[in-house]
Amino acid sequence: MRIFFAGEQFLVIYQKPELDIRNQLSDERKKQVLENRARLIPILKTIILHGQQNIPLRGYRDDGPLIKDSGEFNLIAGDNDGCFRALLRFRRDAGDTVLKHLKNSAANATYISKTTANQLINCCEKAILSVITKQIDDSGYYSIIFDETTDVATISQLSVSIRYVYKEKVLENFVGFLDLHKSNYDSETNEKVLGQTVIKKLKSLGLNLEKCVGIGCDGCSVNLSQAKGAAVTIQKEAKNANVFPCFNHALNLSISKSLSQKC
């Protein structure tokens, strides 16, 4: 007789909720569980649409009831509650009966709060990264590309992408922004911390550092310093990786310097 571990039992019950003893004792509860799961589908599809079309979710105010009692559109610009809520209203008005709960359900049962939306976005991230890492594992070898940038809030972010060959096609996929301030990023240890942040990201994805054969970055001293640059820090663990400075970055710097000279 096979002994099931708790994780296996959870997966079995999750995939077949009818096997849950609580659902067997209560048909009404099973019906409610299936309805709640069905409600998440159009909400999740709407979030995925935002990501595919690069549309922001948030608005001026994104809380409160989604459907007004009057049922009328609010055309006041200051009351714009964002594209996410607007698209959900559009789906409902277009005849999506699954979203009928948005008018009468309690505030904690609509599944459209910013907290729930962020949780669903995180689920999408995990699903996408699982596909990318599976492709990288199948391809065998990969290169990493990273660069530091500053967002609109003047926070230093590290953009990380991975380049690999999959089914005879060269793919270059973005795998995340990393907040360097959370890594104690400062002027004294920035090179080392920058490289360690990249290594930590690769390990979190479950990638084999020995199969990393390339490191792409710009030509600044923070990245390419032979003493303690970020690329050297990465090479200490990814021993098979060669460093490839960005030639476009060097060209842009040369053009910028030449244009700044007085003729």
What is the pLDDT at residue 189?
46
Domains with residue ranges and CATH for the chain: 6-112 (no CATH), 127-260 (3.30.420)
pLDDT by residue (tens digit) across 210-227?
Answer: 999 999 888 777 777 777
Residue 206: partners with Cβ closer than 8 Å, 6 or more residues away: 133
Q: How many residues are given for the chain? A: 263
Helix, strand, coil abundance in the chain, percent, nearest 5: 55, 15, 30
Residue 220: partners with Cβ closer than 8 Å, 6 or more residues away: 249
Q: What whole-number distance in Å separates Cα of residue 109 and Cα of residue 40? A: 11
What is the pLDDT at residue 121?
93
Phi/psi-derived region of residue 106, left when phi > 0, alpha when psi is between -120 and 50, beta in every other case:
beta
pLDDT by residue (tens digit) across 117-138?
Answer: 999 999 999 999 999 999 999 9
Which SS3 state, helix, strand or coil, does residue 177 take? strand
What is the pLDDT at residue 45?
94
Q: End-to-end CA distance of the chain, in Å? A: 87
Q: Kind and range of the H or E element at 160?
A: strand 156-166
pLDDT by residue (tens digit) across 138-167?
Answer: 999 999 999 877 777 777 788 899 999 999
> Chain-wide mean pLDDT for the chain?
81
- Which of 144, 143, 119, 155 lies closest to 44, judged by CA? 119
Q: Would you say 142 and 116 are in contact if contact means Cβ atoms under 8 Å apart?
A: no
Which SS3 state, helix, strand or coil, does residue 172 take? strand
Give the burial string for 68-95 (b: 16+ CB within 10 Å, else e): eeeeeeeeeeeeebbbbbebbbebbeee
The β-bridge partners of 171 are 164
The position carrying tokens 């060959």 is 165
Q: What whole-number distance in Å separates Cα of residue 153 and Cα of residue 259? A: 30
Q: For residue 9, which phi and psi values (nearest 5 degrees)?
A: -65, -40
Torsion sign (Cα): 62, 63, 66, 67: negative
What is the pLDDT at residue 187?
46
What is the pLDDT at residue 24?
66
Which SS3 state, helix, strand or coil, does residue 143 take? strand
What is the pLDDT at residue 82?
85
pLDDT by residue (tens digit) across 6-61?
Answer: 777 777 777 777 677 766 667 777 778 888 888 899 999 999 999 999 998 887 77
Q: What token pair was written down for 212?
A: 């990393």
Q: Is it the case that residue 72 has pLDDT exceeding 90? A: no
What is the pLDDT at residue 229?
79
Cα separation values, 213 from 1, 22, 145, 209, Å: 47, 52, 11, 9
Neighbours of 40 (CB within 10 A): 14
